[in-house]
């Protein structure tokens, strides 16, 4: 009888957990995708609770990363536009004086 291995499930769980904890880091998307892949591999071999948890955690980590990128892009865009507007008004005032 072959031994049942849960290595991919454990790897998927750990990577999914790390992708949530480190969601504001660039490499968290890589951790989330790898966790997703390992969890899916384990689920195809044998359905385990760790593989299911790893799948859920990886998806949450990927979603958190996407939300963080959207929020950061919005704030950067807002800050840049505010700075351009402020500089334009200052230049206009200097030109008028």
Does pLDDT of 69 surpass 70? yes
The stretch 14-21 carries a mean pLDDT of: 95
Mean residue pLDDT of the chain comes to 87
Number of domains in the chain: 1
Classify residue 2: in a domain, yes or no: no
1 within some domain: no
Higher pLDDT, 90 or 52: 52
Q: Is the CB of residue 19 less than 8 Å from the CB of residue 58? A: yes
Domain containing 41 equals 7-96
Inside any domain, residue 51: yes
What is the pLDDT averaged over residues 73-80? 84
pTM: 0.79
Q: Is residue 75 part of a domain?
A: yes
For residue 91, tell me if it sits in a domain. Answer: yes
The DSSP secondary structure of 68-82, one letter per residue, reads HHHHHHHHHHHHHHH
Q: Is the pLDDT of residue 91 over 90?
A: no
**Is residue 79 over pLDDT 50?**
yes
């Amino acid at each position: 009888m072959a031994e049942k291995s849960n290595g991919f499930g454990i790897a998927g769980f750990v990577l999914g957990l790390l992708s949530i904890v480190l969601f504001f880091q660039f490499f968290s998307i890589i951790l989330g995708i790898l966790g997703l892949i390992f969890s899916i591999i384990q689920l195809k071999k044998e359905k385990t609770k760790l593989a299911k948890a790893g799948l859920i955690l990886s998806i949450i980590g990927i979603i958190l990363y996407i939300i963080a990128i959207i929020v950061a892009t919005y704030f950067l865009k807002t800050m840049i536009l505010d700075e351009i507007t402020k500089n334009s008004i200052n230049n206009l005032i200097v030109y008028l004086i």
